[in-house]
Chains A and B, each alone.
Chain A
Amino acid sequence: GENVEQHPSTLSVQEGDSAVIKCTYSDSASNYFPWYKQELGKGPQLIIDIRSNVGEKKDQRIAVTLNKTAKHFSLHITETQPEDSAVYFCAAPRANQAGTALIFGKGTTLSVSS
């Protein structure tokens, strides 16, 4: 089945710097790659996603890139702000299961200091 590895597990940056989180996946048939942000005491929130027919997608200060050949995708946050501090999860479709089940990476705790 699918396996998702996420790095780094923790990331500390200064306000205004960029942050990059990388995930690798194992199933070459996977075609959907979302990123979730989880703030303390809340449920994960979908912030951006990409499907396998595109290589990059941007939404204001966040972007996701996909390299299907290398089977990895990355979240890029530019001009980081303190409110970007949270845990970020990547995910990929769970192989051999109908519907929309996902398998998640173990998460990256991002700390943005001002």
Chain B
Amino acid sequence: DAGITQSPRYKITETGRQVTLMCHQTWSHSYMFWYRQDLGHGLRLIYYSAAADITDKGEVPDGYVVSRSKTENFPLTLESATRSQTSVYFCASSPGLNEQYFGPGTRLTVT
């Protein structure tokens, strides 16, 4: 099906573990984004990518790593998870001109 998907939808991990959240879009949009959503903070931008092999930091990048070897995929890696990274993570894509389309989210709990 066309659209944007995220996996896993739910993840529980332990402090210090590495975890990767996957994002895949079928629209061939140039831009992709990772946000985290926390109560009281709304949506905060972690990283974004303007095209394959082009990424840049957002508002809260510390502790996260991204890559984009293919246009359709934009994985987000937490290299050493901390409890403060417990959150709901949303991936989004955009064809340009600002409109963004969001995935269903991944709820991550770090114990």
Interface residues of A (CB under 8 A from B): 32, 34, 36, 41-46, 49, 89, 93-94, 97-107
Contact = CB atoms under 8 A, between A and B. Distances in A.
A34 B102 CA distance: 13
Contacts of A97: 48, 56
A34 B40 contact: no
Given A45-B102, A49-B98, A99 B48 contact: yes
Contacts, number: 63
B71 to A, nearest CB: 14
A100 to B, nearest CB: 5
20 contacts: A36-B102, A41-B105, A42-B104, A42-B105, A43-B92, A43-B104, A43-B105, A46-B100, A49-B99, A89-B43, A94-B45, A98-B50, A99-B31, A100-B97, A100-B100, A101-B45, A101-B58, A102-B100, A104-B43, A104-B44
Interface string B21-63: 0000000001101000000111111001010000010110000
Nearest to B45: A101
Interface residues of B, number: 27
Nearest to A90: B42
Interface of B: 30-31, 33, 40-45, 48, 50, 56, 58-59, 90, 92, 94, 96-105
A43 B90 contact: yes
B65 to A, nearest CB: 18
Nearest to B48: A101
